[in-house]
Amino acid sequence: MKLTKMTALLAMSVAMPAMATELEVTHWWTSGGEAAAVAELAKAFDASGDKWVDGAIAGGGGTARPIMISRITGGDPMGATQFNHGQQALELVEAGLMLDLTDVAEANNWKEIVFPPSLLDACTVDGKIYCAPVNIHSPEWLWLNNKVYTDLGLAVPTNWNEFVATAPQVEAAGKIPLALGNQPWQSNLAFGAMQIAVAGLDAWKAVNIDKNMDVAAGPEYAKVFQAAADARKLAAKSTVQDWNQATNLVITGEAAGQIMGDWAQGEFQVAEKVAGTDYTCLPGLGLNEYISTGGDAFYFPKLDDPEKEAAQKRLAALLVSPEVQVAFNLKKGSLPIRGDIDLAAANDCMKKGLKILAGGNIVPSGDMNWNPDVQKQAEDLMVEFWKSEMPAEEAQAKWVEILKTGI
């Protein structure tokens, strides 16, 4: 869609400003694919008559979130900031530091168009809406370099079990079976992806929805921890730090595969790789094709400036608009939060995600199921587990004790 047409459409639903208002927007999207996606948001906001002042913070959410929160609580708020869906901004909302967007949501019918509804529920506190969801990201994907396998005369694996079975041949050829970065959240993401893939949906729901600790300590989850122990061995020679560096190991053929969220698509696209030809993506690790509906949303700290507040609300409406949803998510590799838009240009991997979403094979993300303290303790445990030789049984027992603190 041409930019002029986009601007005209947006003007119908969001009042155009008389003069451009600058808003600093903080986020942690700094990889090549992420930068291309966030540029679409900036372009659209600038075209609407305001000015996006980019405040990218490198290092991922674990590094960026404390900085963002510190600024908001310390009296130096930005105009808008990214957080993940869930409870990450709950304390800020409860402290009265975030802008109420209920009027924007009602004017633009968010309750009718945002799908699944849990995304908007995660933005809602005491009946008021405090964030604008922008995408659905799911972490439960296995990414494979097809050429690594074909060069070895092997069929490209179709699931995690086949991936593990072919790992000895991959390693014998001098390749890293599993790419994994050293950022703490990456090992935690891999474990989370294994939960529903290996334990199955019923066991996952029993633990994460019903808080059944007997299941968490039982045989279904023992299989998950054994799978994590297998993955730990396969990733032993992966020494990179950032997630996109690990993705690049797969893109270049130095590694065979990576467990990573669907945002990895953006890196493959920047590298001009073709889904289904150059690489394979397996939702649910090819075992259980369910995806969690996590992702990103923008919150707007309260500012003592009526003009900036008006610009914040214009940006909130813009982020959920059909045109911006298409442009942003095609670059990001994520799924849109609207069910009423056409993504005909989606690649094979995005189409797999859209099919799963349309079929209702979705679950809420961990950010929505457990409080931040439980999540942090679980992440710390996974870091310790992946960097040591901790037995799977010991890790499972410690994990159950952590979950009990969140019940």
Residues 245 and 380 in one domain: yes
Question: Is position 365 within any domain?
Answer: no
- pLDDT for 230 equals 96
**What is the H or E stretch that residue 142 is in?**
strand 141-145
Residues 35 and 180 in one domain: no
- For 165, other C-beta atoms within 10 Å of its C-beta total 12
- Per-10-residue mean pLDDT for the chain, 407 residues long? 42 56 97 94 97 94 93 98 88 96 98 92 95 94 98 98 98 98 92 94 94 98 97 96 96 98 91 95 95 91 97 98 93 89 83 90 79 90 95 98 96
Rounded to whole angstroms, how far apart are CA atoms 369 and 141? Answer: 20
Which DSSP symbol is given to 52? E
- pLDDT for 4 equals 44
Residues 392 and 264 in one domain: yes
The CA-based dihedral angle spanning residues 312, 53, 350, 2, taken in that order and rounded to the nearest 10 degrees: 90
Question: Which amino acid belongs to residue 102?
Answer: T
- pLDDT for 18 equals 59
Pairing of strands 255-259, 176-179: parallel
Q: Domain limits at 270? A: 141-292+370-404
User: Is the peptide bond between 116 and the residue preceding it cis, with omega within 30 degrees of 0?
Assistant: yes
CB-hemisphere CA count at 13 Å for 226?
Answer: 10
Residues 278 and 387 in one domain: yes
Residue 115 in tokens: 């799908």
Residues 306 and 226 in one domain: no
Rounded to whole angstroms, how far apart are CA atoms 32 and 35? Answer: 5
Residues 25 and 112 in one domain: yes
Residues 313 and 336 in one domain: yes
Q: Which residues of 228-260 are buried (b: 16+ CB within 10 A; e: fewer)?
A: bbbbbebbebbebebbbbbbbbbbeebbbbbbb
Distinct helix (H) and strand (E) counts, the chain: 21, 13
Q: Of 75, 89, 83, nearest to 57 (Cα)?
A: 83
The CA-based dihedral angle spanning residues 298, 292, 158, 189, taken in that order and rounded to the nearest 10 degrees: 70
Pairing of strands 22-27, 80-84: parallel
- pLDDT for 135 equals 95
Residues 34 and 96 in one domain: yes
Residue 95 belongs to domain with CATH number: 3.40.190.10
Residues 145 and 287 in one domain: yes
Rounded to whole angstroms, how far apart are CA atoms 107 and 130? Answer: 14
- pLDDT for 127 equals 97
The position carrying tokens 């097809």 is 146
Number of domains in the chain: 2
Residues 123 and 234 in one domain: no
Residues 89 and 228 in one domain: no
